[in-house]
């Protein structure tokens, strides 16, 4: 266990609401640097899947072969540096060919390579074999968050960086899992072969969780599948590995592996939330509630580009404060959020958020934007209006 703690900073404890707990705890934040610095991590994290284990074994095997080859090369160079340096009266040898020797150092490396290729091929073939999966999860990359879907259970949600922006700007002390924490982790049952289907809605992303031994690109317009079977309950952290633009560093992945029983309970809980959300969308919201919800959504989704203060980034992203959209017709504002917007004035168009956000969230955030940062449109949006605008 001690070894695992040392080796696996990606692995947290199995406690459930860990992200929230860590965020809330100032004590954890102050303790974090010391524990983080204590463990110099120099090798791959301890795997928790059979494939991850085979990758680690393969990695260690090649690493040792390479280390031995390097020591031989290093040794030969240093031997000749010491033994064959110029000495008075000693003439250099004049040989410049040796067919046997040259054949030897062509054939021996080739045989070593064959020895490496055999286990690599076997592992690769097993990694590609998604047959016999018991459940499917979709992971869809967005700039800069992940959207997870459980098609068998009709559940889907966004998973966004939970580290507050103040910590990135060095205005607050950093959490233990700084940049490796999300609001809604991907929850998977242990001991079950899960098929993960990846795609993207904008640019190429890559889903990488080292402890699972998975790194797979999410390519827009294309679908690819990988599989995993997690053996141990726990929290496993990863990142988007494919360069995807400005906030590439800020779209982590957190996988929470729980026992199948816990997983069933979690699914049931999620379904209740879905039902509650549907009920929320039916009711008529008060202005204060919309504003409060809208502020949350704005800070979570919109602030990444438009800034926490609504001022945007000059040359890159337009401001919300004083913008024509926030002052203009309501329908256009809703359509911008749902379907995106491309004026050609900025390097990147605004992506559509219709798939990522529910009716309540869109209604709330539009209301918030029209009545904050000095904007005084005065109107408000109900979820039903958003539904009809879709």
Partner 1 sequence: MAIVTAEHHEAHPKGVSRWLFSTNHKDIGTLYLWLSFVMFIVAGTMAMVIRSELFQPGLQVTNPHFYNQLITLHGLIMIFGAVMPAFVGLANWQLPLMIGAPDMALPRLNNWSFWILPFAFTLMLSSVFLQDDGGGPATGWTMYPPLSVQGGIGVDFTILSIHMAGISSVLGAINVIATVLNMRAPGMTLMKMPLFAWTWLITAFLLLGAMPVLAGAVTMLLTDRHFGTAFFNAAGGGDPLLFQHVFWFFGHPEVYIMILPAFGVISQVIPTFSRKPLFGYNSMVYATASIAFLSHVVWAHHMFTAGLLLVSELFFMYATMLIAVPTGVKIFNWIATMWRGSLTFETPMLFAIAFLLLFTIGGLSGLMVAIVPADFQYHDSYFVVAHFHYVLVTGAVLAIFAAVYYWLPKWTGHMYNERLGRLHFWLTMIGMNLTFFPMHFLGLAGMQRRVPDYALQFTDFNQWATVGVFVQALGHLVFIYVLFQTIRGGKKAGARVWDGAEGLEWTLPSPPPYHSFTTPPVVK
Is beta strand 155-159 parallel, antiparallel or unpaired with respect to 186-189? unpaired
Tokens standing for residue 38: 């204590």
- Name the minimum Å distance from CB 202 to partner 1: 7
131 in contact with partner 1 (CB under 8 A):
no
The DSSP code sequence of 248-264 is: GGG--EEEEEE-HHHHH
214 in contact with partner 1 (CB under 8 A):
yes
Is beta strand 194-200 parallel, antiparallel or unpaired with respect to 135-142? parallel
101 in contact with partner 1 (CB under 8 A):
yes
Place of tokens 């202005």: 287
Residues in the chain: 390
- Name the minimum Å distance from CB 164 to partner 1: 12
Q: How far is CA 118 from CA 114, 115, 122, 153, 196, in A?
A: 6, 6, 6, 40, 27
Q: Is 229 helix (H, G, I), strand (E, B) or coil?
A: coil
CB 336 within 8 A of CB 389: no
Interface with partner 1 in residues 57-86 (CB under 8 A): 58-59, 62-63, 66, 69-70, 73-74, 76-77, 80-81, 84-86
87 in contact with partner 1 (CB under 8 A):
yes
Interface with partner 1 in residues 229-248 (CB under 8 A): 237-248
- Name the minimum Å distance from CB 263 to partner 1: 25
Q: Which is nearer to partner 1, 164 or 291 (CB)?
A: 164
Binder to partner 1 among 1, 3, 169, 279 (CB under 8 A)? Answer: 169
3 in contact with partner 1 (CB under 8 A):
no
Interface with partner 1 in residues 259-298 (CB under 8 A): none
Binder to partner 1 among 21, 24, 128, 275 (CB under 8 A)? Answer: 128
Span of 132-140, 218-226, 260-268, 287-295 interacting with partner 1 by CB under 8 A: 218-226
DSSP element (H, E) containing 346 = none
Binder to partner 1 among 24, 30, 152, 222 (CB under 8 A)? Answer: 222
118 in contact with partner 1 (CB under 8 A):
no
CB 363 within 8 A of CB 292: no
33 in contact with partner 1 (CB under 8 A):
yes
26 in contact with partner 1 (CB under 8 A):
no
3-class DSSP string for 61-77: HHHHHHHHHHHHHHHHH
Interface with partner 1 in residues 296-315 (CB under 8 A): 313-315
Q: Is 4 helix (H, G, I), strand (E, B) or coil?
A: helix
Q: Is the peptide bond before 144 cis (omega within 30 degrees of 0)?
A: yes
CB 82 within 8 A of CB 248: no
Q: Which is nearer to partner 1, 95 or 378 (CB)?
A: 95
Interface with partner 1 in residues 326-355 (CB under 8 A): 346-349
Q: What is the dihedral of CA 315, 317, 318, 321, to 10 degrees?
A: -120
Residue 165: closest CA among 303, 69, 30: 303
378 in contact with partner 1 (CB under 8 A):
no
- Name the minimum Å distance from CB 110 to partner 1: 6
186 in contact with partner 1 (CB under 8 A):
no
Q: Which is nearer to partner 1, 205 or 270 (CB)?
A: 205
């Amino acid at each position: 266990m001690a070894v695992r703690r040392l080796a696996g900073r990606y692995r947290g404890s199995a406690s459930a609401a860990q992200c929230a707990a860590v965020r809330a705890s100032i004590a954890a934040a102050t303790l974090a640097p010391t524990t983080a610095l204590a463990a110099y991590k120099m090798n791959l994290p301890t795997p928790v899947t059979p494939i991850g284990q085979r990758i680690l074994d393969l990695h260690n095997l090649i690493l040792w072969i390479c280390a031995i080859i390097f020591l031989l090369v290093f040794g030969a160079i240093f031997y000749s540096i010491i033994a064959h340096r110029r000495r008075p009266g000693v003439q250099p040898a004049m040989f410049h060919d040796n067919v046997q020797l040259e054949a030897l150092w062509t054939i021996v490396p080739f045989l070593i390579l064959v020895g490496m290729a055999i286990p690599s091929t076997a592992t690769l073939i097993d990694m590609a074999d998604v047959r016999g999966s018991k459940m499917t999860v979709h992971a869809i990359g967005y700039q800069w968050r992940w959207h997870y879907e459980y098609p068998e259970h009709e559940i889907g949600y966004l998973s966004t960086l939970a580290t507050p922006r103040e910590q990135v700007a060095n205005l607050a002390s950093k959490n233990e899992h700084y940049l490796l924490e999300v609001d809604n982790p991907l929850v998977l049952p242990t001991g079950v072969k899960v098929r993960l289907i990846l795609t993207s809605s904008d640019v190429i992303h890559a889903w990488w969780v080292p402890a699972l031994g998975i790194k797979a690109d999410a390519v827009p317009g294309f679908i690819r599948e990988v599989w995993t079977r997690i053996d141990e309950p726990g929290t496993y952290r990863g990142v988007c590995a494919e360069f995807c633009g400005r906030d590439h560093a800020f779209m982590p992945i957190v996988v929470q592996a729980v026992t199948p029983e816990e997983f069933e309970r979690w699914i049931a809980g999620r379904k209740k939330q879905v039902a509650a959300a549907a009920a929320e969308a039916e009711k008529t919201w008060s202005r204060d509630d919309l504003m409060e919800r809208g502020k949350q959504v704005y800070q979570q989704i919109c602030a990444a580009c438009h800034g926490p203060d609504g001022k945007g980034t000059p040359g890159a992203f337009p401001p919300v404060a004083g913008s024509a959209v926030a002052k203009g017709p309501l329908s256009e504002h809703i359509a911008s959020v749902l379907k995106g917007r491309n004026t050609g004035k900025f390097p990147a168009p605004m992506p559509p958020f219709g798939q990522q956000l529910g009716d309540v969230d869109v209604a709330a955030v539009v209301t918030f934007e029209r009545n904050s940062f000095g904007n005084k449109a005065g109107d408000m949006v109900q979820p039903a209006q958003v539904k009809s605008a879709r």
